[in-house]
Structure 1
Amino acid sequence: MTVTATSPMPELDRPYDGLPSNAVADFDRDGFAHLRNVLTPETIAAYEPTITAEVIRLNTQDLPLAERDTYGKAFLQVTNLWEHNEKVKELVFSRRLARIAAQLLGVHAVRLYHDQALYKEPSGGITPWHADQYYWPLSSDRCLTVWLPLQETPMEMGPLAFARGSHHFAYGRDLPISDESEARLKQTVSEQNFEDVVEPFALGDASFHRGWTFHHAGPNRAAVPRRVMTVIYMDADIRIAEPTNDHQAADRGWMPGTAIGQVPDTPLNPVLYDARR
């Protein structure tokens, strides 16, 4: 198992010392964690212009906002930016972020599933209620997403919100992100009395959420885009599962050349942190 090379930005490789002693237990109970000062504003400022430039360059959405469906209005979505830009790769391959992911998941090592920039334009719509792992053909729930805003994210910009404890609830796991998932999961969250946790993000904050945690976001009422970089991590020993829907079948493309039951040890899925090394 080979761990990737270090980044030229020292903070991206230094351990994060802000993880509370009860963070792992809380993450297991709640399905998410909102952590403060994960990166300094200076580090984010060093990467945001490059990420934004790559989103503009690689974005394929050309319909006006008013002509898109609900999903299209939610955000501009560009995946695996790290393959296109070495500077973005430095951030995506950060040992600091990957170490937090491994600690929260309770595993010794994590590998990359893929990265994803999510830019909610001014007047961009809601992000419907959904669970990410609906899309992932993986053998366990030892996987999570880090949601890293590239600017302060007040309530008017639509920060990510989570249904506390919903990763323990199986209903709704067959729903892709859609108007239907918004309606059905919104009702379920209310009926099951899951707390809908939403709060602003300061610059440098990041959230981590499990694959089955239901989450959503409000519209962007600000005059500037809500710029967010995400990275999906999985237990380094996880295996590829038989897809249960067409989206999972398509998502096997993030782990090229692998078979059902194999560990996705591919060039696109490097180990980003291993506590034993």
Structure 2
Amino acid sequence: MTASKYNGFPELRSEYPLLPEQIQAYERDGHLILRGLANEDEIGIYRNVINELVQEHNNQTKPLEERDTYGKAFIQIGNIWMMSDAVRQFVLARRFAKAAADLMGVPSVRIYHDQALFKEPGGGHTPWHQDQIYWPLDTDKTITMWMPLVPVPQEVGSMTFASASHKHGYISKQEISDESHRTLKDYIEGKGLETVDYGAMAAGDATFHAGWTLHSAPGNPTERMREVMTIIYIADGLTIAEPDSNARKNDMAQWFPGLRPGDAAASPINPIVYP
């Protein structure tokens, strides 16, 4: 793949204005949907190159029935923005980054990393979890954008979120597993937290959720791949925390290469994307 092949892709610089009530809803619930954050034409152009990279870098060879719960949940390829100038333009897009900054109420954001999450036909559910148990950061200024590249029908739907669970902070160190699903489902029910999903989504719609927001996703009973791109943003100016788990140690090495606890969370692969 050559850089020149992808010249002329949409820059995604225009703003998506947020209403005060949308920001308030995100602060209250820890999640929000923004319909039409990217339009059909924009997504159609980027989808092809993202799809190509996922196929090229997918090393999953086991059939679904032979995988564990995590393996059945999705094909997962990270930092694909570093593999293609076109995807770089998508992941580092100012439009998406400004929405993330506005929702978090911060003046500037960096990329933590991206992930393509493709749920195969017949793929399993994604267990309840908190993203930030993996991240060596002691902050509430983290957010994930989850954007389908294809229409997602009602029977697949958006992720399911436990509203206001982000206010509970670090609930459990359990990584994504059957155990995390059981434990956190019991926690949600015990605390009486409302669960919300946004149903069918168009390509280019996007949900945003805080790093501590509990969330899960249903399986894919359809015959079509659920193609999703995620981008994780962090506020600029954060400091790397001392990892308190192997998951966080591994993430520090992978996503903050060459950095140590106490350093600024700002390696060369965590560029500022807004402003």
Normalising by structure 2, what TM-score?
Answer: 0.94
Structure 1 equivalent of residue 108 of structure 2: 109
In structure 2, stretches of 5+ residues that fail to align are: 1-6
- One-letter amino acid matched to 2:248: Q
The Cα of 1:264 is off from its aligned counterpart by 2.3
CA distance in 1, matches of 2:152, 2:191: 28
Provide the secondary structure at the position in 2 that maps to 1:145. Answer: strand
Aligned-residue offset at 1:219? 0.6
Give runs of aligned pairs for residues 1-277 of structure 1, distance below 5 A.
9-10=9-10, 12-17=12-17, 19-170=18-169, 172-198=171-197, 199-252=199-252, 253-274=254-275
Instruction: Please state how far the C-alpha of 1:236 moved relative to its aligned partner.
Output: 0.8
2-structure distance, mates of 1:168, 1:154: 30
The residue type paired with residue 150 of structure 2 is: Q
For the 8 Å contact 1:173–1:212, the answer to whether it is kept is: no
Q: What is the distance in 2 between the residues matched to 1:265 and 1:191?
A: 38
How far off its partner does 1:157 sit? 2.2
Distance, in Å, in 1 between the alignment partners of 2:202 and 2:138 is 34
Shift of 1:171: 6.4
* CA RMSD across the alignment: 1.4
Letter in 2 for 1:82: W
Structure 2 Cα separation of the partners of residues 144 and 132 of structure 1: 9
Cα deviation, 1:196-225, whole Å, max 9, x if unaligned, reads 101221222100100000000001011110
What is the alpha-carbon distance in structure 1 between the residues aligned to residue 19 and residue 26 of structure 2? Answer: 11
Secondary structure of the 2:20 match is coil
- Asked whether the 8 Å contact 1:158–1:219 carries over to 2, the reply is no
C-alpha spacing 1:90/1:11, structure 2 compared with 1 (3 Å)? closer
Q: Distance in 2 between matches of 1:171 and 1:151?
A: 33
| SS at 1:269 equivalent | coil
- Alignment partners' CA distance in 1, 2:169 and 2:25: 20
Asked whether the equivalents of residues 11 and 39 of structure 1 are also in contact (C-alpha less than 8 Å), the reply is no
Letter in 1 for 2:121: P
Runs of 4+ in structure 1 off by over 6 angstroms are none
Give the TM-score taking structure 1 as reference length: 0.93
Distance across 2 between alignment mates of 1:258 and 1:23: 36
Partner residue, 1:3: none
CA displacement at 1:96 relative to structure 2: 0.4
**C-alpha contact (below 8 Å) 1:11/1:96 kept by paired residues:** no
The alpha carbon displacement at 1:139 in A equals 2.6
* Identical-residue share of aligned pairs (%): 43
CA positional deviation for 1:60? 1.2
Conserved 8 A contact 1:8-1:90: no
Aligned residue identity for 2:203: L
- CA contact 1:166–1:212 (8 Å) conserved in 2: yes
1:4 matched residue in structure 2: none
**Structure 1 pair 222–244 and aligned structure 2 pair: CA distance change class (3 A):** same
Q: Distance in 2 between matches of 1:58 and 1:195?
A: 38
Q: How far does residue 83 in structure 1 lie from its aligned partner after superposition?
A: 1.0
**Does the C-alpha gap of structure 1 residues 272 and 42 become closer, same or farther in structure 2, counting only changes over 3 Å?**
same
In the superposition, relative to structure 1, how do residues 228 and 24 fare at CA in structure 2: closer, same or farther (>3 Å)?
same
Q: Which runs of 5+ in 1 are unaligned?
A: 1-6
CA 142–8 in structure 1, closer or farther in 2 if over 3 Å, else same: farther
